[in-house]
Structure formats: C-alpha cells, structure tokens
Amino acid sequence: DSLQTPRTYCAANTEDLETVIHHVHSLHPSAPFMAAGVSMGGMLLLNYLGKTGRDTPLMAAAIFSAGWNVFESVESLEKPLNWLLFNYYLTTCLQSSISRHRQMLEKLFDMDLVMKARTVREFDKQFTSVMFGYRSIDDYYEDASPCRKLKSVGIPVLCLNSVDDVFSPAHAIPVETAKQNANVALVLTSCGGHIGFLEGIWPRKCTYMDRVFKQFVQAVFEHGNKIFSM
C-alpha cells in the first residue's frame, strides 16, 4: 500500500499503539487484556506504559529484547564488527522501506541525503528525527529510550533481555531502576542474543522466550487477581 501522508513511525511515537489498544478495549471492554512487544515493539510498548502509568486498559505486558538506551544501542552497533554484521544491513533495510514511497516523502525530506546514510544513526539524523519534529537526533534518542520512563510503569511488566545482545548492551540495562519499581520484573540471561534465547545443542523446539511468555500470560489470565493483590 502507498502512504497516504508523509509519515512513518519511530520508537518514541506511541499514537498508533494507543489507537489499537483503545480500539480493542472498546470492542471487548470486559475481556482480560495484555500486550507483548519485541525489540523496537518492546521499546514502543515500554514508552507507552511509562507515559500512561496505571491509566491503561492493559492488565500486564511482556517485553523481549528491548533496546533500553538508544544512545548506547547505536554506539554498540557502530563497533566495527557489529557495523559489518548488523548496522549496514539494518540501514539498507530502513532505506528500502521508504524508497518505494519516495514520491510522497521527498516533499519534506532530502531523500538523496537519506539514501546516503550508512548507519542507523545517520538515517535517524536525516529522516526519523526530522519527520517527528525533534530539534536534534539527541532529543529523539532521549525521548525514545525506555530506561527514562521505566520508573513510571504502573502495571505488571515482565522484561527479558540477554546480556550478550548487541542491540541492548548489558551496561545499559536499567537494573537498579527496575529494582525500584515493584511492577517491573527484569529477567536477564547470559546468552540469547537479540530475540534468540535458543535452548539445547540442536534447538528445534520452543525457545526460552516462548516458555517464559506462555507461563507469564497464563499466570496473569488465570491468577491475575491474586497476583495483583499481593
């Protein structure tokens, strides 16, 4: 489909997510309601929860492999090996996702400059931060970093990260902030990479992430009232 307006998405803008959450809740107001977010989707969900606190129809949420501090994430991705393995490919994917809408977007952006970006940071500087009206890329990255909003989360949230995830380096995971919020459970594994969490020598069955997600959802839906009253 073609874009109807010259606008895409960013990690700090939760308007689309809020629209979906309130639409689903309006259709089924009495149904138990949870949300899950993976990677950038997890960042969006955390930013939404940090903004809304207890004022959300969600009972709980599960977050997997979120990038907690965008400044640290892009710095990690710009290390030589990570740039070669991940950053350049991700940048070309971002460029490809908007190139087919070039006719719409070039009304507002210097698309030649956007398409010359060789890192995610350069892409965000020339495109994403401009699109959403930030004065600078630093302003955008500060607003997009969930670690700055974690203290305001007002519903039970389970967060799973691996300390070997190059998208969210271990030193940038907000362990102390999570300890100070009783609503937040932060689970860290030594291995798992980015949305990996594979198990066994020949991993063919469900992952550790799958098992944790299933157990958490089941606990919330079946025993939520007991959990929330503890």
The catalytic residues are 39, 165, 194
As a three-state string, the secondary structure of the chain is: CCCCCCCCCCCCCCHHHHHHHHHHHHHCCCCCCEEEEECHHHHHHHHHHHHHCCCCCCCEEEEECCCCCHHHHHHHHCCHHHHHHHHHHHHHHHHHHHHCCHHHHCCCCCHHHHCCCCCHHHHHHHHHHHHCCCCCHHHHHHHHCHHHCHHHCCCCEEEEEECCCCCCCHHHCCHHHHHCCCCEEEEEECCCCCCCCCCCCCCCCCCHHHHHHHHHHHHHHHHHHHHHCC
